[in-house]
Amino acid sequence: MAMLEIKDLYVNYGMIAALKGISFEVNEGEVIALIGANGAGKTTTLHTITGLLHAKSGSITFNGVELTKTPAHKIVEMGIAHVPEGRRIFQNLTVLDNLKLGAFTRKDKENISKDIEMVYERFPRLAERKTQIAGTLSGGEQQMLAMGRALMSKPKIIVMDEPSMGLSPIFVSNIFDIIQTIRETGTTVLLVEQNAKKALSIADRAYVLETGKISLSGKASDLINDASVKKAYLGE
């Protein structure tokens, strides 16, 4: 059984149909990429999975539990973490306080400091800046903090929205390396990314969204060589 299963999902913004009956699944341990142009429905998909938007119809199940009627905070407790577009860190708090807030739903309070150390091992930049106000970090460091904060909830799956947006090429490579190490430690990743080439290079499978519908899906290694994908998304 798929860990996360989206079936015939319709989502509207007012009168506008943002998602028109999409279906896809994410298996445990995979990195799945969702690619498509701006306005294709990628962010809407993630927001509906994490309870920030309500579906008009269709179903989203996570380990067999229906999410479309589940409040957003309960979805976090079930093991789904969201790294939103634009990072959305707590600008006026320190790096350390941001990480602690990532663990607010956890019951095992005694393990939190150990997990903060684990985040610092994975993101040495954050360790160096733990007492710094988060709003003063560079864009790349803020993205690392958003990812570290998501990991503090001990998620089974992380959904990431445009993690490389606005970052310098060196930070983009860093972020994609980190996504791979997150998967290697057993966390599943659903990735929305404008940088289709990078996303397809690390994903197991991918889905192409076009104006609210899935137009293509398959192994990422096949899609990276697909002529229509190359033309539309890889600038070739």
What is the pLDDT tens value at each position of the chain, 236 positions in all? 799 999 999 999 888 899 999 999 999 999 999 999 888 999 999 999 999 999 999 999 999 999 998 998 899 889 999 998 877 888 899 999 999 998 887 778 788 889 999 999 989 999 999 999 999 998 889 988 999 999 998 899 999 999 988 888 888 888 899 899 889 988 999 999 988 999 999 999 999 999 999 999 999 999 999 888 888 887 76
- List, in order, residues 6 or more apart from 183 with CB less than 8 Å away: 29, 30, 31, 189
Domain assignments of the chain as residue spans, ordered by start: 1-79+191-236
Q: Round to whole Å and give the CA distance between 5 and 25.
A: 4
Handedness of CA 190, 165, 116, 81 (dihedral sign): negative
- DSSP alpha helices (H): ranges in the chain? 42-49, 72-78, 95-102, 112-122, 124-128, 139-151, 169-184, 196-202, 220-223, 227-233
Query: What is the reported pLDDT for 36?
Result: 92
Rounded distance, CA 149 to CA 21, Å? 32
HEC-encoded secondary structure of 135-175:
HHCCHHHHHHHHHHHHHCCCCCEEEEECCCCCCCHHHHHHH
Give Cβ neighbours of residue 18 (< 8 Å, ≥ 6 apart). 11, 12, 41, 44, 212
pLDDT tens-digit readout, 59-107: 999 999 999 989 988 998 899 999 988 778 888 999 999 999 988 877 7
Q: What is the predicted pLDDT for the residue at 170?
A: 85
- Could you tell me which CATH class the domain 1-79+191-236 is placed in? alpha beta
3-state secondary structure of 129: coil
- Dist CA 227 CA 96 (whole Å): 46
Task: Tell me the C-alpha distance between 116 and 122, whole Å.
Answer: 10
Residues of the chain with pLDDT > 70, as a percent, come to: 99
* Both structure tokens of 222: 């096949």
Name which of 93, 18, 103 is nearest 57 in CA terms.
Answer: 18
* Per-residue CA distances from 215 to 27, 32, 48, 195 (Å): 20, 16, 20, 18
Q: What pLDDT does 236 receive?
A: 60
User: Which pTM does this prediction carry?
Assistant: 0.90
